[in-house]
Amino acid sequence: MRWLIAGGWVETDKAERAFERMHRRDRVGDRVHLALAMLGAACLVGPTSVTELAFAPVLVFFFVRAFNAGPTWIHWLGQPVMLGTLALAAWQGVALAWSPDKALGLDQMAPLRWVMLGVLIWPVIERRRWIIGALIVGFVVGNLSQVGHAVGRAAEIGWLTWPRLPYRNSGWWDPVVGGSLLTAALGLHLPAVLMGRGKTRALAITLSLVTVAGLFATGTRGAWIASIALVLVVFVVSLGVRKARSGRALSVHTAWVGAIVALGALAAAWFAAGETIVTRATEARHEIAAAMDGDYSTDTGRRIAMAIWAARAIAAHPVIGVGTGGYHAWVREQDPHADVHDHAHNALLQLAATSGLVGVALGVFIIIAGVRGGVLGLDRESVGTYDAGPVFSLVGLVLAGAFDAVHLDSQTAALLGLLLGLCPCWRPGMPAPCAERAPFEV
């Protein structure tokens, strides 16, 4: 299993030679490719229409330089994440055979295409820091769209606002999608906040406060919970890293800095969305109480009901599921009056309900391979830089999947594809798979 997850079959010597050949023959192409990849990463978290076209220029240029860059492609296409996704796509294609809604099943398979972002950025993977930086710029611009919405609403400027419910400001993102995306954005900054040093840490603290403010402004309660869980995950990792560095898990100075940053985050969230936090928290309390009394008509109640229906579907068809895209139709067959969406609002439950344990195993394999690839090359110092951002961003998006089917929405699926592409099992300059040093050198 370790050999499978690590991609032990990847021929690193041939891959190194392919990259050297590309750099030698097409230096200009390297620069253009990187610029287009950065543009794509920045635009990927824009409005939905922009997301869909973000990597179109990269795709065109990808084939323009095929003669020089082509020999590198096979070394991404054969990586565990790519092969796992192909296996999942094949299984979901087979599962269409017993799906009661094949058209929806095909629609829900379409987001799997975003894993191909990995091969589009592969020729410039050695410059992944620049792509990470561009992605961060894209998130900041998205936060500015939230500022514009707030100003537009206050000043009654129609062209600055987006069609959002009161107390929910997600800018150009849908509130639920925006919450999931900003949870992932927080994951980009947290390693530098909790384990970084100097200017990098100061920048990360500033950007994390902006992200937290935007996150709470969306009013997406599931994303709030996922972000808190993400902070705890990174905090636990930081304790281990700090102990490896100095022999102490938490110094007095670090504790004070952490407390100040936490208070700053709370202040930023309250300043940006105090009324939203109070309103949404109050609604949650009432909705959960109503659901406990059997009333599932509220937003929270519907999500609880959809999770219950997903559990019933899993119990009925545990191995193969009800079929790709078949969740909604299967529920309606059981109860024509059931109020459910096209998916279960939970990535794992949705995958299990429609693709069974086979689909879950393949999905878990993909994420484990991505997380493992993300920690490779990190040591006690680099884990506190933005080099560690993609893997913790990936963890954040997975945690957000507890409250939304992040693999089905175009924007979150696109970000998932890019993050997996930034976390390969091997990249030039690294040891061969299965021969690398332990993560973080702890």
What is the pTM for the complete model shown? Answer: 0.91
Handedness of CA 129, 118, 380, 226 (dihedral sign): positive
Percent residues over pLDDT 70 in the chain = 94
| pLDDT at 138 > cutoff 80 | yes
User: What pLDDT does 434 receive?
Assistant: 61
User: 350-369 burial by CB neighbour count: b if 16+ within 10 A, else e?
Assistant: bbbbbbbebbbbbbebbbbb
* Residue range 208-225: mean pLDDT, rounded: 91
What's residue 188's pLDDT?
A: 96
Tokens of 319: 């191995």
CB-side neighbour CA atoms (13 Å) of 268: 18
Residue of higher predicted confidence among 352 and 337: 352
DSSP 379: -
Percent of the chain past pLDDT 90, that is, above it, reads 62
DSSP 60-128: HHHHHTHHHHHHHHHHHHTSHHHHHHHHHHHHHHHHGGG-S-HHHHHHHHGGGGGGGHHHHHGGGGGGH
State residue 165's pLDDT score: 83
pLDDT recorded at residue 250: 62
Query: Does 298 or 439 have the greater pLDDT score?
Result: 298
Tell me the one-letter amino acid at 330: W
pLDDT band at 249 (very low <50, low <70, confident <90, very high): low
pLDDT for the residue numbered 32:
95
Predicted confidence (pLDDT) at residue 47 exceeds the cutoff of 70: yes
Q: Residue 108 burial by CB count (10 A; 0-12/13-18/19+): exposed, middle or buried? A: buried
Q: What is the mean pLDDT of residues 327-346?
A: 90
For residues 245 and 380, the answer to whether their CB atoms sit within 8 Å is yes
Q: What does the pLDDT read at residue 278?
A: 79
User: Residue 330: what pLDDT?
Assistant: 94
- Distance, first Cα to last Cα, the chain: 23
* pLDDT of amino acid 441: 40
**What pLDDT is stored for residue 442 in this prediction?**
33
- Calculate mean pLDDT across residues 180-193: 95
| pLDDT at 438 > cutoff 50 | no
Task: Calculate mean pLDDT across residues 26-51.
Answer: 95
Kindly tell me if the per-residue pLDDT of 245 is higher than 90: no
pLDDT tens per residue across span 90-136:
999 999 999 999 999 999 999 999 999 999 999 999 999 999 999 99
Return the sign of the alpha-carbon dihedral for residues 105, 109, 110, 111: positive
What local confidence, expressed as pLDDT, does residue 333 receive? 92
Cα separation of 41 and 56, whole Å?
11
Q: Is the pLDDT of residue 401 over 50?
A: yes
Mean pLDDT, the chain, as a whole number? 89
Does pLDDT of 440 surpass 50?
no
CA distance 425 to 431: 10
pLDDT of residue 418: 97
